[in-house]
Amino acid sequence: MSSARAKVIIKGRVQGVFYRQSTCTKSLEMEVTGWVRNMPNGYVEAVFEGCEQKIMDILEWCKRGPGSARVDEVIVSYEEPTGEFSTFKIK
């Protein structure tokens, strides 16, 4: 399977609702590497890397997030995979 990398900005009520922790848990379950962090403007930013289908699956999950989140918009930009990550972590 081909590798993919996606940089994502998630807008909505995504801070203070376990969005980062849930994203980390889900990414590890799906064997996707990268990171997630809160941004000062209230958004969440993430980078996902892994097989293309798993990236598509985690992006679909990001549109919902955990039950307490309200996702208004997910902005995705695709980049060349670098293989720089060995796991998924919260920054």
Rounded to two decimals, what is the model's pTM?
0.95
Question: Is 88 within a domain?
Answer: no
Active site residue 38: yes
- 62-90 pLDDT tens trace: 999 999 999 999 999 999 999 999 999 99
Q: Which domain holds residue 31?
A: 3-82
Determine whether 37 is an active site residue.
no
One-letter amino acid identity for 7? Answer: K
Beta carbons within 8 Å of 41's beta carbon, 6+ residues apart: none
Domains in the chain: how many in total? Answer: 1
- Which member of 5, 37, 38, 41 is catalytic? 38
- The per-residue pLDDT for range 25-58, each reduced to its tens digit, is 999 999 999 999 999 999 999 999 999 999 999 9
What is the per-residue DSSP string for 17-66?
A: SSHHHHHHHHHHHTT-EEEEEE-TTS-EEEEEEEEHHHHHHHHHHHTT-S
Q: Is there a domain that residue 58 lies in? A: yes
CATH number for position 75: 3.30.70.100
